[in-house]
Amino acid sequence: MPFVNIRILKGHSQQRKDEIARRVTEAVSEIAELPKEAVWVVFEDVEAPDWYVGGKTAAKPKE
């Protein structure tokens, strides 16, 4: 069974996560030719200070 782990910056709404999970599940199910119930999707919320892009934190700088 496919297991999809999505790391995302903390703060996204449950509605947005639901839609992402729905679309990912549909895509994996279709391509792998498996029932949707066989696809697991897990979100890991990451705090902005712990997320780096290009060596810089995604956290807003303190003023």
- Mean pLDDT of the 35-60 span: 94
Let me know if residue 62 belongs to a domain. no
pLDDT of residue 50: 96
pLDDT of residue 61: 65
CATH number at residue 22: 3.30.429.10
| Given 2, 35, 49, 61, the catalytic residue | 2
Answer for the pair 45, 6: CB distance below 8 angstroms, yes or no.
no
Let me know if residue 21 belongs to a domain. yes
Let me know if residue 23 belongs to a domain. yes
Answer for the pair 28, 2: CB distance below 8 angstroms, yes or no.
yes
pLDDT of residue 2: 96
Mean pLDDT, all residues of the chain: 94
- Domains held by the chain: number: 1
pTM for the full model? 0.85
pLDDT of residue 60: 75
Let me know if residue 63 belongs to a domain. no
Name the pLDDT band for 40 (thresholds 50, 70, 90). Answer: very high
Answer for the pair 58, 47: CB distance below 8 angstroms, yes or no.
no
Q: Residue 45 sits in which domain range?
A: 3-57
Let me know if residue 28 belongs to a domain. yes
Catalytic residue check, 2? yes
